[in-house]
Amino acid sequence: MSKKYITTIGLEVHVELNTKSKMFCGCQNDPHAAEANSLTCPVCLAHPGTLPVANTEAIAKVMMFGEAVGATRASYSEFDRKNYFYPDIPKAYQISQYAFPFLRGGFINNVELTRVHLEEDTARSQHDHPGISLVDFNRAGVPLMELVTEPVIHDSKTAVDFARELQLLLRTIGISSAQMEKGEMRVEANISVSDTDELGVKVEVKNLNSFRSVENAIAYEVDRQINLREKGVVVSQETRGWDEVKQRTFSQRTKETAKDYRYFPDPDLPRMNLEQSTHHSKSRMNEIIPKLPSKKRLEYENIGIKSSQVEVIICNQKIDKYFSSLIDILGNDIASLKLAANYLTSDVLAELDETSDNEIVLTPANFAELMLMTSTSLINSRIAKDLLKELLFVDGNPHKLASERGILQSSDPAQLQTLIDEVIWKNQQVVSEYYAGKESSVQYLIGQAMKMSKGAANPGKLASLFKTALERSRPS
Ligand SMILES: [Zn+2]
């Protein structure tokens, strides 16, 4: 490469909001309903004479998002018609927002947002039957939040980190499940490459339905544009798709401009003055927004939880909820909370992953007791692991269970001494090897004592007591 190129990326993300009903009619909002065209009505099928009514729950969810990212709310807003013809858009226009989006500005991961607006989703076309195309209108009219970032991203990793943090935020405030593979969160990247101070020609890459495809598509597209420039070929402004199988972008169409869509305010929907709506007021939003990921990160790290574990906890809603109950119970017991974070992000996570519908049945109070028993050496970590596995999906009091089974760890020197005497007496051969200089024989003896106590003996105590006992009887 002879020149130095600067990559500039802006992202556009569409998010399906999880409202009960669709954006402008009363149909159930379930774009993944099994039976095609089962959730439709004259409004979302655009029969003549029908009128849309804006879904206030969807608007509230956009406003919640605005508070979460620190965006500026529009005092005045309206819906516009975006005109274009396509089989998946029954009205031949999409109700969207143009000049007056609900939100402007705000930040996610230090990436500035340009705007956030609300629109309706299109129907879903299916081309998997030879010779015919089918359209499923269950998705037509589903509330879709679109956010656009400033072109301030310069590499694919930053783009992926932004998308991950956005997904986490959407899930945390509970406005979308944001599953990319289901199309609930769709990322598009506007990518340009330049060797001067001015931005290069912008190419839009669509169909990015996983974090990996966001990363790979950007890397591919940057290479493609640089190669064209190196050959002296002009990069054309266009929309490209991402081929997951071939791992490359391909031309779909030349990009329409805003002019092509002939936007104008939708005369069927009222203008909105959000300042006057108590349902959408700033104070109400702040009341209903749960604790944000950035705040949780800080709290968990202050407890002393490793940052890699913090990410695992806050990205898994079940585990995060459980962990915050444990904080309430264990309070300032940092040792037990750190242990809890270890078990939750390894053993518990593994059990939850196998079948995603699994719920932890063990109450946080009993879980907390198990952690306390472990951090105070009442049981060792091996037994804690086994008890956790046994109780996770049935519940039960770990202390009661351990004492019934006689597996509460013993640090009582008298009890341990009896055990040690017995082990030494039964393993004379190993003992003589120890005296002959094989120090590691002690480990075998500790193992035997652990076995005889069913794991209840404290291995640390055993080690020192064995050494003392053996040295006391060393043949001179
Ligand atoms: Zn409908």
Instruction: Convert the pLDDT of each residue in 157-214 to its tens digit.
Output: 999 999 999 999 999 999 999 999 999 999 999 999 999 888 899 999 998 999 999 9
For residue 136, the CA-to-ligand 1 centroid distance in Å is 13
For residue 139, the CA-to-ligand 1 centroid distance in Å is 10
Report how far residue 428's alpha carbon sits from residue 238's, in angstroms, rounded to the nearest whole number.
83
For residue 99, pLDDT beyond 80: yes
For residue 255, pLDDT beyond 80: no
Asked if residues 15 and 178 have their Cβ atoms less than 8 Å apart, the reply is yes
For residue 166, the CA-to-ligand 1 centroid distance in Å is 29
Which domains does the chain carry?
6-283 (no CATH), 291-404 (no CATH), 413-472 (1.10.10.410)
Alpha helices for 51-205 (secondary structure H)? 56-69, 156-172
Mean pLDDT along residues 80-91: 94
Q: Which two tokens stand for residue 208?
A: 């990015």
For residue 181, the CA-to-ligand 1 centroid distance in Å is 25
Q: Are strands 203-208 and 76-77 parallel, antiparallel or unpaired?
A: unpaired
For residue 415, pLDDT beyond 80: no
pLDDT of amino acid 366: 95
Give the contacts of 273 (CB within 8 A, at least 6 positions apart): 75, 76
Q: Hey, what amino acid is at 158?
A: T
For residue 73, the CA-to-ligand 1 centroid distance in Å is 28
Task: List, for residues 428-463, the tens digit of each pLDDT value.
Answer: 999 999 999 888 888 899 888 888 877 777 778 888
**Percentage of the chain lying above the pLDDT 70 cut:** 97
Report how far residue 387's alpha carbon sits from residue 325's, in angstroms, rounded to the nearest whole number.
20
Q: How does residue 351 score in pLDDT terms, banded at 50, 70 and 90?
A: confident
Task: Measure the CA angle with vertex 172, ends 288 and 357; round to 5°.
Answer: 120
Between residues 353 and 367, the one the model is more confident about: 367
For residue 254, pLDDT beyond 90: no
For residue 137, the CA-to-ligand 1 centroid distance in Å is 9
Strand partners of residue 6 = 194
Task: List, for residues 267-326, the tens digit of each pLDDT value.
Answer: 999 999 888 888 888 888 889 999 999 999 999 999 999 999 999 999 998 899 999 999
For residue 47, the CA-to-ligand 1 centroid distance in Å is 10
pLDDT of amino acid 378: 84
For residue 26, the CA-to-ligand 1 centroid distance in Å is 6
For residue 28, the CA-to-ligand 1 centroid distance in Å is 8
pLDDT of amino acid 55: 97
For residue 176, the CA-to-ligand 1 centroid distance in Å is 20
Q: What's the DSSP call for residue 77?
A: E
For residue 52, the CA-to-ligand 1 centroid distance in Å is 9
Report how far residue 85's alpha carbon sits from residue 91's, in angstroms, rounded to the nearest whole number.
8
For residue 152, the CA-to-ligand 1 centroid distance in Å is 39
Q: How does residue 337 score in pLDDT terms, banded at 50, 70 and 90?
A: very high
Task: List, for residues 26-73, the tens digit of each pLDDT value.
Answer: 999 999 988 999 999 999 999 999 999 999 999 999 999 999 999 999
For residue 179, the CA-to-ligand 1 centroid distance in Å is 23
Closest C-alpha among 331, 313, 410, 415 to residue 372: 331
For residue 41, the CA-to-ligand 1 centroid distance in Å is 4
pLDDT of amino acid 354: 55
Q: How does residue 356 score in pLDDT terms, banded at 50, 70 and 90?
A: low
For residue 124, the CA-to-ligand 1 centroid distance in Å is 15
**Percentage of the chain lying above the pLDDT 90 cut:** 71
pLDDT of amino acid 12: 98
For residue 18, the CA-to-ligand 1 centroid distance in Å is 15
For residue 236, the CA-to-ligand 1 centroid distance in Å is 39
For residue 25, the CA-to-ligand 1 centroid distance in Å is 5
Asked if residues 208 and 188 have their Cβ atoms less than 8 Å apart, the reply is yes
To the nearest 10°, the Cα dihedral for 240, 243, 244, 247? -90
Report how far residue 208's alpha carbon sits from residue 48's, in angstroms, rounded to the nearest whole number.
35
Q: How does residue 240 score in pLDDT terms, banded at 50, 70 and 90?
A: very high
Q: Which two tokens stand for residue 163?
A: 């998308």
Task: List, for residues 123-144, the tens digit of each pLDDT value.
Answer: 999 888 899 999 999 999 999 9
pLDDT of amino acid 464: 85
The helix-helix angle for 428-435 and 413-426 (nearest 10°) equals: 90
Between residues 351 and 58, the one the model is more confident about: 58
Closest C-alpha among 331, 341, 414 to residue 374: 341
Task: List, for residues 272-286, the tens digit of each pLDDT value.
Answer: 988 888 888 888 888
Q: Which two tokens stand for residue 137?
A: 């209108």
pLDDT of amino acid 355: 55
Tokens 């939708």 correspond to: 266
